[in-house]
Every structure is written in structure tokens, then in C-alpha cells.
């Protein structure tokens, strides 16, 4: 059986294994978020379709992430292939405000970078 981070057990970043830290540990694994996101946004698909959606993921890493996410009950294998569970969909829904914040952060960084570039081009301004 695949070892996944579990609440109440030490995980990366938390010896107490707080539930949020266990979830962050799981989702912080290479490609875990990408796989979950693709299944939630793009819908159910086969292993090969999911590999194509994720573009650069290796079959070994995809297989490992699918096993971990299945054991964590965030995805399942249905008639149409791999799909998110209700809990997996809730995880993605809960991340939407963070996605919005990331977009705001990106805009702010671009604006700051643009202002600094303008100042460097025109030192008398």
C-alpha cells in the first residue's frame, strides 16, 4: 500500500500532523495538484488522456500520484476512467480563492516591475 500523509501523524512541515499540514504535504507532492486539477476541471479520463493533459508527467509519477490520491479518497476510478470524488472536488473548490489571490499577486508584481522599469529608463521622472 502507498504511504500518504495522514492527519495526526508527522508530515513534512508538521510534527503534530495537523490535518491542514497533512493535506498540504499530499498536495505538495510533484504533480499531485496538477493531476487533481486536471480531473476536476477537465472531467473524468483514462490514464493516457490524463498523461496527455499533464503534458510532461512521466508514467511512473502519474501512477504514483493516482495511487496516492485514490488512497486519500480524492479521486476514484469510474466507468469513464479516473475522476474526482466529491471530496476531491471540494478541495479544488476551496482553492479557488487562493487562485484568485495568486492572480492578484501576479498583477501586483507585474505592476511593480513595470514601474521599476519605467523609473530605470527615465531617472529624472
Lowest mean pLDDT among 34-48, 52-66, 104-118: 104-118
* Residue 56 per-residue DSSP state: S
Domain boundaries, the chain: 19-93
Q: Is the pLDDT of residue 57 over 60?
A: yes
Q: Are 50 and 59 in contact (CB under 8 A)?
A: no
Q: What's this model's pTM, rounded to 2 decimal places?
A: 0.82
Please compute the mean of the pLDDT values over residues 96-103 and round it to a whole number.
94
How many CB atoms are located within 10 Å of the residue 36 CB? 23
Share of the chain above pLDDT 90, in %: 74
The predicted model gives 103-111 an average pLDDT of 95
Task: Give CATH for domain 19-93.
Answer: 1.10.10.10
Amino acid at each position: 500500500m502507498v504511504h500518504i500523509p495522514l492527519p495526526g501523524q508527522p508530515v513534512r512541515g508538521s510534527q503534530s500532523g495537523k490535518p491542514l499540514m497533512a493535506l498540504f504535504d499530499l498536495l505538495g507532492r510533484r504533480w499531485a495538484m496538477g493531476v487533481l486539477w486536471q480531473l476536476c476541471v477537465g472531467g473524468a479520463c483514462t490514464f493516457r488522456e490524463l498523461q496527455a493533459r499533464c503534458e510532461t508527467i512521466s508514467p511512473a509519477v502519474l501512477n504514483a500520484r493516482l495511487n496516492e490520491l485514490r488512497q486519500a479518497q480524492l479521486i476514484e476510478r469510474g466507468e469513464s476512467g479516473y475522476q474526482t470524488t466529491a471530496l476531491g472536488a471540494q478541495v479544488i473548490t476551496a482553492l479557488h480563492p487562493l487562485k484568485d489571490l495568486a492572480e492578484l499577486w501576479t498583477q501586483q508584481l507585474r505592476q511593480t516591475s513595470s514601474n521599476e522599469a519605467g523609473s530605470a529608463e527615465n531617472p529624472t521622472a
